[in-house]
């Protein structure tokens, strides 16, 4: 039986954590740090180290702001998408994820 968590000490530490309490009932428990959460942490750390990521993020935010709340600009975008035989996509706001909080 596997148990994966975000790696917080309340979940994973050796004494009095959720994992140790479950382990008391199941000695064959496989305890691991959630792979998706580790990937998220690694991507966030890499993003801080690579200047291109900040530049790309800046472009995405400016693009969103350009089209945000402007039906005229969105109609123009959809016209170009139609002309290029591309699917009609909506530009959405870029969010920074802090763990699993503030997800939208």
Instruction: Report domain extents, the chain.
Output: 1-49, 51-93
- Rounded to 5°, the CA angle 5-17-27 comes to 85
Q: Left (φ > 0), alpha (ψ -120 to 50) or beta: where does 30 sit?
A: beta
Q: Where are the beta strands (DSSP E) in the chain?
A: 2-5, 30-33
pTM value > 0.75: no
pLDDT one-digit tens code per residue, 17-44:
888 888 888 888 888 888 888 888 888 8
pLDDT at residue 85, rounded to an integer:
94
The two tokens of residue 24 are 């008391």
- Mean of the per-residue pLDDT values of the chain: 82
pLDDT at residue 96, rounded to an integer:
61
Q: Give the chain's residues under pLDDT 70.
A: 1, 96-104
């Amino acid at each position: 039986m596997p148990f994966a968590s975000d790696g917080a000490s309340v979940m994973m530490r050796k004494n009095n954590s959720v994992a140790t309490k479950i382990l008391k009932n199941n000695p064959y428990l496989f305890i691991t740090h959630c792979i998706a959460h580790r990937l998220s942490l690694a991507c966030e750390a890499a993003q801080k180290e690579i200047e291109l990521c900040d530049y790309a993020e800046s472009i995405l935010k400016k693009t969103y702001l350009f089209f945000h709340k402007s039906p005229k600009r969105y109609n123009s975008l959809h016209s170009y998408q139609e002309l290029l035989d591309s699917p009609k996509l909506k530009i959405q706001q870029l969010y920074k994820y802090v763990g699993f909080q503030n997800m939208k």
